[in-house]
Amino acid sequence: MRNRTVAFRPMIIAICAITVAVTYLGGCGGGGSASTGTLKLSITDKQSDDFQSVVIAISEIRVVPNGREGSNDSDPGLPVLAKFDTPKVVDVMQLHFIQQALGEVVLPAGRYSQIRLILAANPNGNQDPVNYLTLKSDPNTKIALTTPSGQQSGLKVLGPVEIKAGVINAVMIDFDPNTAIVKRGSSNEYNFKPTGIRLIQTDSVLSEFGSIVGNVSTAFQQWSSATVSVKRRGTITDTDPIASGRIFATYTSGKWQAPFSAFVPASEPGWGYKTFISSNGFAIYSSSALPVVQGQATDLGEIVLTPQ
């Protein structure tokens, strides 16, 4: 079998590149004491027109408290969520509207800034890689993913994550291959953008879910971040958002833009989900109350911010 190498080169961008952390307020009971909560971590994925498989081999998962972002992976101040004697192999392309559990840990209540995925190293020589992708146009060729940061300091998946005391706090890693893996020029090599991997916090472990997706943009003036919040409207009317979080923009295709997604339970007759987006210097956007169907994406399309 032919092997090729793909360079995973994390990019440092002054204005954070395309990412979203959507936080569901609340949690399930039975997940800790008055000062601790349980973090349950899983992974899901969006589909891609280009990739047949995207396989990662996870050796360890650590949680990073606020203020410890510069710590080494071996720092005892970074709780270990999971450690695998044999790396846990995940093909994220098989997880469309499906969650695969990665592990759980009891943590002090508070805010955490990162989840770190420490990946197994690809073997040298002619052995098959353990971190790789295959293309739909050539599904039999494993293209090795070279991920030096994944083995040394971990793939840093940015939060925030809030651990509430006394409950189960469910978090999904949303691996978006359309923004996480980018072909470089005309070569058969691909660059990796860690910001294409996102954390989504939900109020429970969702066995079935749909999503709300969109792309926030403006060509008029620069913007760095916005807040996305989701409320139920109809026979159920939320005062506080059932979901909220920040999205971060990057300049691509002549405009500042940030695609986002939020995984939510399917709506029911009589109520739907209304999405609000606010950013300093821009008018607040609000959608209609729209239904969400299990296993499907409700697409808000291009959401153009209007300067105030």
264 and 127 within one domain:
no
**CATH code, domain carrying 253:** 2.60.40.10
Shared domain check, 244 and 133: no
The pLDDT score that the predictor gives to residue 80 is 95
Q: How many CB atoms lie within 10 A of CB 23?
A: 23
Last residue of a domain, one of 150, 181, 205: 205
Domain-terminating residue out of 183, 205, 227:
205
Report residues of the chain scoring pLDDT below 70: 1-32, 146-153, 186-187, 189, 192, 195, 203, 244-245
In a domain, 174, yes or no: yes
Residues 129-171: pLDDT tens digits?
898 999 999 999 998 876 656 656 678 888 888 899 998 888 8
Same domain flag for 299 and 154: no
pLDDT at 153: 64
Q: How high is the pLDDT of residue 155? A: 82
Contact 116, 102 (CB under 8 A): no
- The strand pairing partners of 132, in sequence order, are 55, 144
**Same domain, yes or no: 238 and 305:** yes
On whether both 93 and 213 belong to a single domain, the answer is no
The model's pTM is: 0.74
Q: Domain span at residue 263?
A: 208-308
Closest by CA to 62, choosing from 45, 47, 44, 74, is: 74
User: Are the C-beta atoms of 243 and 255 separated by less than 8 Å?
Assistant: no
What is the model's pLDDT at position 39? Answer: 94
User: What is the model's pLDDT at position 144?
Assistant: 81
Is the domain of 191 the same as that of 48? yes
Return d(Cα 152, Cα 161) in angstroms, integer.
23
Q: How many domains does the chain have?
A: 2
Instruction: Give yes or no: residues 119 and 247 share one domain.
Output: no
What pLDDT is recorded for position 72? 86
Is 81:157 a contact under the CB 8 Å cutoff? no
Q: What pLDDT does residue 1 have?
A: 53
pLDDT at 13 (0 to 100): 26
The DSSP secondary-structure symbol of 229 reads E
